[in-house]
Amino acid sequence: MNCWSRTDHGTTATPEALEPKAETTSAGRLQQAQDRLNELQRERDRMAAQSRELAERVAEISGESDHAKLRLATGLGDEEKCREKLNALDLERARLQQKLDGCALAIKELEGRISILSETARELAQAADQERQQEVVENFQDVAYRLSRRVIATWRQACAEAFELSMLVDQTTAMARSGGLDHDHASAVLAANEKLSSYFQTESLRLVNENWPRHESHLFRRLQIRAARPEE
């Protein structure tokens, strides 16, 4: 489906392109669950802070109410004003208590949702770890088998070409030594053979001389290049 459309004002995204894509992996769903969990925890903390403020105000009202009752009982204050004060405090306390009760209910509901979502996140974390481990196995199999096929193919080719090279060297040097070539050409062949020996010795020492990074592996203990022609 084409998620883009042309208008007189340019290219715009279709509604389908603007909708968030559903996560298909456990790791993606876990991230979404954790994000939602953080939102719920922040909302719970906000409600808890509001509840504390309300409780502090209710406590203050109780103190003010006790003070007004004391003045009313001792006759130290105007009775009508004291009663008006007490009625106003009782009305405010009733309103705040309703809000306080609402906060308690909201916190309880949020705690329930957080508990359920926490269990979901725990299950998703386990599933995501299983997917991670499976990915490690699949990546190992894919890369290791691919590299192994390349190594073995190169080894087979090296063995075959080493066989051809050794046959060529033996046959040609034998010809040079047996009189099949005159002195100059025989000397050239033997000199070339010495040059080959020096070349292979130099190359074999590069691993040490150039300090190539090495890592021993049981896979290559028997996989040495031998002058041999592989069967097709």
pLDDT in tens, 197-221: 999 999 989 888 888 888 888 888 8
Among 108, 139, 170, the domain-final residue is: 139
pLDDT at 47 over 60: yes
- C-alpha angle 20-25-27 in degrees, rounded to nearest 5: 100
- Is the Cα torsion angle 194, 200, 202, 208 positive or negative in sign? negative
pLDDT in tens, 129-145: 999 999 999 999 999 99
Domain that holds residue 191: 142-220
Whether 42 maps to a domain, the answer reads: yes
- Non-local (6+) Cβ contacts of 65 within 8 A are 86, 89, 90, 93
Whether 52 maps to a domain, the answer reads: yes
Range name among 12-16, 103-107, 183-187 with the lowest pLDDT average: 12-16
The pLDDT value given to residue 48: 95
- Is the Cα torsion angle 42, 43, 48, 53 positive or negative in sign? positive
Q: Are residues 149 and 66 in the same domain?
A: no
- For 212, left (φ over 0), alpha (ψ -120 to 50), or beta? beta
Using CA atoms, how far residue 128 sits from 118, 121, 135, in Å, is: 15, 10, 10
Whether 124 maps to a domain, the answer reads: yes
Question: What is the band of 102 on the pLDDT scale with cuts at 50, 70, 90?
Answer: very high
Q: Structural domain tally of the chain?
A: 2
Q: Are residues 146 and 98 in the same domain?
A: no
